[in-house]
Structure 1
């Protein structure tokens, strides 16, 4: 098991906070950097792993690839602000060891970190629940129309808007502000979405939507 960690995040406060949590769990922080380019002249050996945080979904797989090109034997763990199914696949294809959604609580997050440090591949735990409950069909990013399964869910246009917001990781308060409705209305929509998709929580709803080709940018006017 690796105990040495190198953090990469453009936010210094995030690096400090995450570093302190990792230290409290017995990990040793051997480096903390704001960008991958800052690692060009560094040589840490091979007995450590990277944690990448604060990288937008569209740049995560490229970031993993850059690190694997430079440190090919070093495990890389992505901390993502929200879940995106296709991005997760691309990260693993680029060589990532783990893909962890940051909304996870500290204890399970550290458990996931330990698994990655032990050489295990780590995926979001809610992904398993969604696969058990739903028929899964991979959808390409280039698909222009939602999958028929999305249509069969019979979500209203406003429920689709709320679902897109859930994919973006928004809280009820933020969703209410984005859609110009009250929080109570958002709660009603979220409850209806969970029922129609046959999932247990917001994360599972986001995974369900992402795995079926929906984008968090597909908002209705």
Structure 2
């Protein structure tokens, strides 16, 4: 039997997604159509789209959306495009969709120019949508290579706030967060760390609270986008 609290949580999640309005800028109409279908399948409303910002603004009959997704054709256009986007839609979260042609330097430029997130085009739909939710909540969502640069103190991104030092996660909570990325169950985590399953549940709840997400999937996405899993590999 499904608990009432679980039902309320599902209703709130659906309502939150329904309230999310997105705008898409991409010169590739086929990719844009696919992205629109992905968003709308998750109850995200696409209020405007276009080949570029000018076309987007001309085709929009509303004040704008909550998130503006920008897929840029070349790295040189990043800073200028983000500056124009911020001026046109000051209240929107700006997310750059990066493909293989957008190198790490261009991604750093995007963050420096005010992007609220950089998402790789090869992400799965589920991870992409979870990442957008994190951006909406105020998180900086980054690819793993940018997260490594941040953790390593790269001078180009040293101005960015280091949330990892501010969250107060214990060493044990960091271990559990990494195991959540691996998809481990509470029982699996307990066996791996040689602790009681009840203790794992307590730690998982603490992790979710500290990183301000509501479930294990969101925690795993948050960890990947903030380079938590990468720390273990270093």
TM-score (norm. length: structure 1): 0.55
Match of 1:20 among 37, 42, 57: 37
Distance 2:41 2:49 in 1: 16
Q: Which runs of 5+ in 2 are unaligned?
A: 1-15, 158-226, 228-234
CA distance, structure 1, for counterparts of residue 53 and residue 27 of structure 2: 9
Structure 2 residue 102 is matched with structure 1 residue 75: no
Matches within 5 A, 1:172-183: none
Deviation at 1:130, TM superposition (A): 6.4
Q: For 1:9 and 1:124, locate their aligned partners in 2 and report how far apart those are by CA, in whole Å.
A: 20
1:131 deviates by 5.9
Partners of 2:22 and 2:47 within 8 A in 1: yes
Higher RCO, Cα 8 Å, sep 6+: 1
SS at match of 2:34: helix
Q: 1:6 aligns with which of 19, 23, 32?
A: 23
Q: Is the 8 A contact 2:47 2:65 kept in 1?
A: no
- Matches of 2:122 and 2:96 in 1, distance apart? 13
2:116–2:135 contact (8 Å) kept in structure 1:
yes
User: 2:93 aligned with 1:45, yes or no?
Assistant: no
RMSD: 2.6
**Aligned residues of 1:11 and 1:54 also touching (Cα < 8 A):** no
Distance 1:106 1:61, change over 3 A: same
Task: Measure, in 1, the Cα distance between the counterparts of 2:27 and 2:73.
Answer: 8
Cα displacement (A) at 1:62 = 1.5
How far is the alpha carbon of 1:6 from its aligned partner? Answer: 0.7
Counterpart in the other structure of 2:82 = 64
Note closer, same or farther for the CA distance 1:131–1:77 as it changes in structure 2 (3 Å cut): closer
Return the match for 1:33 from 46, 50, 54. 50
Matched residue of 1:52: which SS?
Answer: strand
Counterparts of 1:98-113 in structure 2, within 5 Å, are 98-113=117-132
Distance 2:156 2:115 in 1: 21
The structure where helix makes up a greater share of residues is 2
CA distance, structure 1, for counterparts of residue 56 and residue 25 of structure 2: 9
Equivalent residues, number: 139
3-state SS of the aligned residue for 2:24? strand
Contact 2:66 2:91 (8 Å CA) reproduced: no
TM-score (norm 2): 0.52
Aligned to 2:108: 89
- Going from structure 1 to structure 2, the CA distance change for 1:31 and 1:137 (only over 3 Å counts) comes to closer
The answer to whether the 8 A contact 1:55-1:80 is kept is no
